[in-house]
Chain A
Amino acid sequence: MKDRGVVIVGGGLASQRCAETLRRRGYEGRIRMVCGEPERPYDRPPLSKDHLAGELSDDEVAFRPPGWYEDNGVELIVGRQAARLDAKRRRVELDDGSELFYENLVIATGAGARRLPPLEGYTNVHYLRTLADARRLREELREGARLAVVGAGFIGQEVASTARAAGAEVTIVEALPAPLAGILGEEVGLWLMKMHDEEGVEVRLGTKLDGARGNGAVEELALSKGAPLECDAVVVGIGVAPAAGWLKGSGLETDGVLTDHAGRTSLPGVWAAGDVARSFDHRHGEHRRTEHWDAAARQGMAVARAIAGEEPDPHPLPSFWSDQYGLRIQYVGHAEGADDVTVEGRPSERDFAVVYTQEEQPVGALVVARPKDFARLRKEIEHTYAQRTNGKEHS
């Protein structure tokens, strides 16, 4: 029988890290990667930053040159999506009807942008998840173009920043009175919006989208308050949902595949990593989905190490970064459980750190242009959780 080896479904960061780590660990079996998009694996963060700004080419966002896959015996199946999992026969069916048999299957299909039904069918409405999305959106970022950004999450904010640098007129529309308030707190959400306001972005908070008007292309957005918003293009950034619909009937969860810390699912020989996975978080004693670059990288690597017979490291603290208007914003930890917040530095000068505390211990931090503080705070937050975990073991 031909070597079944490892089949990795998905062509993003978690998949790439998994394949690379398998080879680095001396895994000699067959590796096949099913990439849903018509591209070889690439890195997504630049899609809202340097690549969108036209400073990085498609080749520059690719993880590896084409020859790498050949040299490392990684077979790329490009432009194909998984359609069905038959775990009993250890078989994945693709959307062209072909089937792949595996010894180990790694589910790393990521997540897809949540869509807004009232905007379906219009030609100038954009979502930003894929390289194709980024190429299309880039065409819209012209001097004087009027861009409406629906949703003030980090994707929307980074698009706003890149669009401003390109000379576009930008309006951010956000349903919440303070964006990201549930995760970062109201103060930070409002500080971010103030930064955009200072950069010439019109910010409309507490404003819902009621509908759109236009012939083929959106010309105007109807909003729950204020005047209708005239625009040349719309970008929607209202979050993502796990791309797990193809797992229906497989026995796995379609709202985020439950895994242990190494990425093991409830099915034999089936693993999951990245945005699609709901991985066990030892700090909170529950499964959590983490849509961060770092988490995808680490989870992809953890699965590879486990397949290679090693015990993966426990997950590090979640962290992410965002680049806007030349500023680096960094986050680490778990701000959502905080009962208090302290600010160090000068927010008005874009130089500060926000420390989220719980029972007076740091549990999360958001840092703007203060790399030294970031390194220090991460250690302090790690200390908080190390103490708590030890406490539990002793009780």
Chain B
Amino acid sequence: MSHIPTIDRSACSAHGDCVDIAPEVFELGDTAEVIGSGPDKLILEAAKACPAQAIEVVDSETGEVIFP
């Protein structure tokens, strides 16, 4: 669980795809919000599914941007 997602609020239109994929990690308000952590695989899948490409995923161990 080293993947940390952050949401670019100016880009997010609250499509909700991330919430469908990883409900324990994301929640919808005016935009999506990060509310918890979850399996790396699901976080990455959620970031890839985002039609607005508003989710950035960073590896907390290396600091590397994994996605996009």
Give chain A's interface residues, CB within 8 Å of chain B: 17, 21, 24, 293-294, 297-298, 301, 316, 319, 321, 328, 330, 371-372, 374-375, 378, 382
The answer for the CA separation of A141 and B60 in the assembled complex, in Å, is 46
**Do B11 and A316 have beta carbons less than 8 Å apart?**
yes
Known: A319-B52, A321-B51. A371 touches B67 (CB 8 A): yes
**Do B10 and A374 have beta carbons less than 8 Å apart?**
no
Please indicate the chain A residues that have their CB under 8 angstroms from the CB of B13 in the complex. 293-294, 297-298, 316
Which secondary structure characterizes the binding site on chain B? Answer: loop
**Do A330 and B51 have beta carbons less than 8 Å apart?**
yes
Give chain B's interface residues, CB within 8 Å of chain A: 8, 10-11, 13-15, 29-30, 48, 51-53, 56, 67-68
Known: A293-B13, A316-B11. A375 touches B30 (CB 8 A): no
**Do B48 and A371 have beta carbons less than 8 Å apart?**
yes
The answer for the CA separation of A382 and B13 in the assembled complex, in Å, is 16
Identify 20 new A-B residue pairs, CB closer than 8 A, beyond the known A297-B14, A328-B51.
Answer: A21-B30, A24-B29, A297-B13, A297-B15, A301-B30, A316-B11, A321-B51, A321-B52, A330-B53, A371-B48, A371-B53, A371-B68, A372-B67, A372-B68, A375-B11, A375-B56, A375-B68, A378-B11, A378-B53, A382-B10
What are 28 A-B contacts with C-beta separation under 8 Å? A21-B30, A24-B29, A24-B30, A293-B13, A293-B15, A293-B51, A294-B52, A297-B13, A297-B14, A297-B15, A298-B13, A301-B30, A316-B10, A316-B13, A321-B51, A321-B52, A328-B51, A330-B53, A371-B53, A371-B67, A372-B67, A374-B53, A374-B68, A375-B11, A375-B56, A378-B11, A378-B53, A382-B10
